[in-house]
A and B are shown apart, each in its own frame.
Chain A
Amino acid sequence: MAETAVLQKLPLDALWRAGSLRSSGAKKFGAFAGYDMPLEFEGLMAEHTWTRTHAGLFDVSHMGPCFVRARGASSHEAVATQMEKLVAADVAGLKPGQVRYAVLLNESGGALDDLMIARPADDALAGTLHVVVNAGCKLQDWALMARVFGADAELIRADNRALLALQGPRAGETMAALVPETAAMTFMTLRRFMHAQFGEMFITRSGYTGEDGFEILVDAAHAEAFAQALMAHEAVKPIGLGARDSLRLEAGLCLYGHDLDETTSPIEADLAWTIQKRRRLAADFPGADRILRELKEGPARKRVGIRPKERAPAREGVEIFSGDRKVGVVTSGGFSPMLSAPISMGYVDAAFAKPGTEIALNVRGQMRTAEIVALPFIPHRYVK
């Protein structure tokens, strides 16, 4: 039976179409994870560069923000125990107001999704976690969480809210103009605000571009006023999903379904840093056998950065060779506006993963030379 492909609309759909003070409206929309998303406003390159030099406003309401709340006992330990059944991150060890990036694991240690997990600082929210999962995975993730948590924790979807991201070197000053207390926040922290104009807001200093910035969960009813207030600042322009992808690629960050999937472990994906010491010692997470073995012995393949030496981009699916031997495959690739050169990420056999290793990329039947490089392609500029 054919599925009916009715795309969902973002809460701010009308704003992105109609345009605003900083934009004449998105010129391209497209389907992504079941949502009708603005792909481009003034053009991918211009938007990308604007974000790296000013501040870009992204509508990421298609993603899956939610809350996980322990039932009965309203303690952080209680809810952390539930969440740790699905991830290898140290959730119990989160300080009040701290955010961690984690990988949702299957029983073989493969990635079901990547996500952000935050512990609110408010006493009133003790026993609650603020979690954001990927758009394309959210229904499966939430079903899995509900099943695994059972009667011990409940999952509360934030469906009535918009999730916006403000990213770039001028994000700090523009956000502080509206919510002054955000100026004191450091990278990977969460604060909840009751704002006179915009209501309840969960703001994390985080993002997925490699720049300083914030992700803001705000009631859908106040989202337009909030977005307009941000765009009243001359440094802020709306940015489409196209530039979001090129920004995260330059920052060397994984896109689930491309650079991470059910077969890849966090160790292969060079995400060992997401597994804190307490969990390694306890070995109590899904797929711990494989993950700890790979930590000790090294994985068979590794995620790497790739710089083609010529100008042809090498995109997802391009095979990687050393001589006649196939040693890997590209999982994300495109063009870096900041380097004015093609960049890719992919997986290669561990023996070929060292930066400086020369490889060949089979682009449309032509072998093109390239080099393994360290990630990220562009240094991160987080406010630590």
Chain B
Amino acid sequence: MTTKFTKDHEWVRVDGDVATVGVTPYAAEQLGDVVYVELPEKGRSFAQGADMAVVESAKAASDVYAPISGEVVDVNDALTGAPETVNESADDKGWFVKVKVANAAELDALMDEAAYADYVKGLD
């Protein structure tokens, strides 16, 4: 399993041909208290970079972009009733969707963990 990261602070973890997508702990910290998550319907397909979900903190709404292209095969319904899970466990229990990977080559353009850590360090 490899985990890759976008400049918009999504993470994508690939297991076979299915990728789990979420937002990073850094993003969750920046958002503050998450109060609402709007997830796409199963079966919808997204191109890389398209608006895929919305995460709202007490303060503002932010878009979550598809880190790779693919069809949504599962969504984390637990976030509907417990959106604070995004703050508590952004990189695990706070996952947003699972997508069927359409083009694995798209992953090559994303950052690995070390590159993302450097990227975040450069933002502060």
Contact residues of A with B, CB < 8 Å? 28, 40, 43-45, 48, 242, 245-246, 311-313, 315, 334-335, 337, 342, 364
Contact = CB atoms under 8 A, between A and B. Distances in A.
B54 interface: yes
A312 B59 CA distance: 13
Contact of A313 (B32, B56, B80): B56
Contact of B33 (A43, A312, A342, A364): A43
Contact of B61 (A28, A43, A313): A313
Interface string B96-110: 000000000000000
B92 interface: no
Contacts of A245: 59
Q: Chain B: interface residue count, which band?
A: 10 to 19
B38 interface: yes
Nearest to B60: A315
Contact of B38 (A246, A312, A334): A312
Contacts of A315: 60-61
A312 B56 contact: yes
Nearest to A242: B59
- Which of B57, B59, B61 has most chain A Cβ within 10 Å? B59
A313 B59 contact: no
List 7 A-B pairs, minimum CB-CB distance, nearest first.
A335-B35, A45-B33, A44-B58, A335-B58, A311-B36, A44-B33, A44-B32
A330 B7 CA distance: 32
Nearest to B33: A45
20 contacts: A28-B32, A40-B32, A43-B33, A44-B33, A44-B57, A242-B59, A246-B58, A312-B38, A312-B56, A313-B35, A313-B36, A313-B56, A313-B61, A334-B58, A334-B59, A335-B56, A335-B58, A337-B58, A342-B36, A364-B54
Contacts, number: 41
Contacts of A342: 35-36
Which label, helix, strand, loop or mixed, suits the secondary structure of the A interface? mixed
A123 to B, nearest CB: 47
Nearest to B87: A43
B36 A312 contact: yes
Nearest to B56: A313
Contacts of B60: 315
Contact of B58 (A242, A311, A312): A242
Contacts of B36: 311-313, 335, 342
A44 B54 contact: no
Nearest to A27: B29
A315 B36 CA distance: 13
A311 to B, nearest CB: 5
Nearest to B57: A44
Nearest to A44: B58
Contact of B32 (A242, A311, A312, A364): A242
A205 to B, nearest CB: 28
Given A242-B32, A311-B80, A364-B54, A44 B38 contact: no
A40 B33 CA distance: 11
A280 B57 CA distance: 43
Contacts of B57: 44
Nearest to A30: B59
A43 B54 CA distance: 21
A48 B59 CA distance: 12
A215 B121 CA distance: 40
A339 to B, nearest CB: 11
Contacts of B80: 311
Given A40-B32, A242-B32, A242-B59, 6 more contacts: A44-B58, A246-B58, A313-B36, A313-B61, A337-B58, A342-B35
